[in-house]
């Protein structure tokens, strides 16, 4: 397989811009950053293009003279972009997309033109600002052998690992990723707001959260969730759990607490599970189904 030296991108959002910067730092040449025609898209593309010495183009004007073209566009735009590219006379040898939820089948119009297509999704969070290191991270790859080979080589160059994903499992894989980062961030935001409801300042709440969150994540990754599970559910302290539910009342965070509690009862070593289930089924705060107040 020909060594990949020159990569172009379609899309300059957080993921695309982050990958561009990381690849440039590892010695890859970034030829073009293909942006939408809107001023905002061109402006974002121009910013990262200046940093890496790339040219800003559009789908209509792109030369597409690269070893690999990497699509880093929203999922709903992947097939449309592929269809537009398929109408071009000159096409790159390899086109991959960065979607975690879509398979390489979404590039079938390019495959029909003889392009080697695939998908390569990094299991990492990208937000505005400096891109994260991908050293030790994992790329899920699938598609034509030549495209997969190129994606694996790029991952190695970035210090990342790669694994083959079943194309039919991409959506579940992406849901897995959503629970590892954005939904984890959502749960931590709910926890932070509870801390502030308890009178802790917004400045202090994250500092208080940091040690316990980091230790919990470390414990789970090292030993698994069951061996890292602690607190009133693990002890079977129904009175304390009932007090939590009373204190939460109708606050939005109550729904998060209840959903996590329900899942924990089914998946983790919760003691006095039947009593915990009755607490969840209680219609009135702090009372069981008969209307009697739960003892604490």
pTM of the model: 0.90
Lowest mean pLDDT of 237-241, 265-269, 280-284, 285-289, name the range: 285-289
In-domain check, residue 11 = yes
Name the pLDDT band for 128 (thresholds 50, 70, 90): confident
Judge whether residue 284 has pLDDT over 60.
no
- Could you give the number of structural domains in the chain? 2
| 192 and 242 inside one domain | yes
| 162 and 187 inside one domain | no
| 68 and 197 inside one domain | no
Query: What percent of the chain is modeled with pLDDT above 90?
Result: 92
Q: Alpha-carbon distance 49 to 65, whole Å?
A: 16
Range of the domain at 98: 6-167
Nearest residue to 265 (alpha-carbon basis) of 275, 253, 255: 275
The CATH number covering residue 152 comes to 3.40.50.720
Q: List the alpha helices (DSSP H) in 161-251.
A: 170-180, 182-197, 202-223, 225-228, 232-235, 238-248
Q: Alpha-carbon distance 66 to 51, whole Å?
A: 19
Judge whether residue 287 has pLDDT over 80.
no
pLDDT at 122: 98
| 68 and 209 inside one domain | no
Q: Residue range 68-91: average pLDDT?
A: 97
| 147 and 41 inside one domain | yes
Lowest mean pLDDT of 16-25, 134-143, 283-292, name the range: 283-292
Q: Residue range 108-129: average pLDDT?
A: 96
Judge whether residue 222 has pLDDT over 50.
yes
pLDDT at 131: 84
112, 141, 167 — which closes off a domain? Answer: 167
3-state helix, strand, coil in the chain (%, to 5): 50, 15, 35
pLDDT at 45: 96
129, 144, 167 — which closes off a domain? Answer: 167
Query: What percent of the chain is modeled with pLDDT above 70?
Result: 95
Tens-digit pLDDT profile for residues 28-67: 999 999 999 999 999 999 999 999 999 999 999 999 999 9
In-domain check, residue 289 = no
Name the pLDDT band for 1 (thresholds 50, 70, 90): low
Name the pLDDT band for 285 (thresholds 50, 70, 90): very low
Q: Alpha-carbon distance 143 to 6, whole Å?
A: 20
| 90 and 158 inside one domain | yes
| 250 and 162 inside one domain | no
Q: Alpha-carbon distance 115 to 109, whole Å?
A: 9
142, 167, 192 — which closes off a domain? Answer: 167
| 142 and 209 inside one domain | no
Residue 96 pairs with which residues in a beta bridge? Answer: 70, 118
């Amino acid at each position: 397989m020909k060594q990949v030296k020159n990569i172009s991108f379609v899309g300059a959002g957080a993921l695309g811009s982050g990958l561009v910067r990381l690849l440039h730092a590892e010695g890859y040449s970034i030829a073009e950053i293909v942006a939408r025609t809107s001023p905002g898209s061109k402006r974002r593309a121009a910013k990262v293009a200046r940093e890496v010495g790339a040219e800003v183009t559009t789908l209509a004007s792109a030369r597409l003279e690269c070893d690999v073209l990497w699509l880093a566009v929203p999922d709903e735009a992947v097939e449309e972009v592929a269809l537009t590219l398929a109408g071009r006379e000159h096409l790159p040898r390899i086109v991959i997309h960065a979607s975690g939820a879509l398979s390489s089948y979404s590039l079938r119009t390019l495959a029909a033109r003889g392009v080697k297509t695939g998908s390569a999704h990094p299991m990492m969070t990208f937000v505005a600002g400096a891109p994260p290191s991908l050293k030790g991270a994992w790329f899920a790859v699938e598609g034509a052998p030549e495209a997969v080979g190129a994606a694996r080589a790029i991952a190695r160059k970035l210090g990342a690992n790669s694994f083959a994903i079943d194309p039919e499992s991409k959506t579940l894989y992406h849901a897995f990723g959503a629970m590892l980062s954005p939904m984890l961030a959502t749960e931590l935001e709910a926890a932070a707001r509870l801390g502030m409801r308890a009178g802790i300042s917004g400045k202090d709440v994250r500092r208080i959260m940091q040690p316990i969150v980091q230790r919990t994540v470390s414990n789970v990754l090292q030993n698994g969730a069951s061996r890292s599970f602690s607190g009133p559910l693990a002890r079977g302290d129904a009175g304390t759990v009932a007090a939590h539910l009373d204190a939460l009342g109708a606050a939005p965070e109550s729904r998060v607490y209840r959903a996590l509690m329900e899942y924990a009862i089914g998946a983790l070593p919760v003691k006095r599970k039947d009593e915990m289930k009755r607490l969840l089924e209680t219609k009135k705060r702090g009372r069981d189904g008969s209307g009697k107040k739960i003892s604490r």
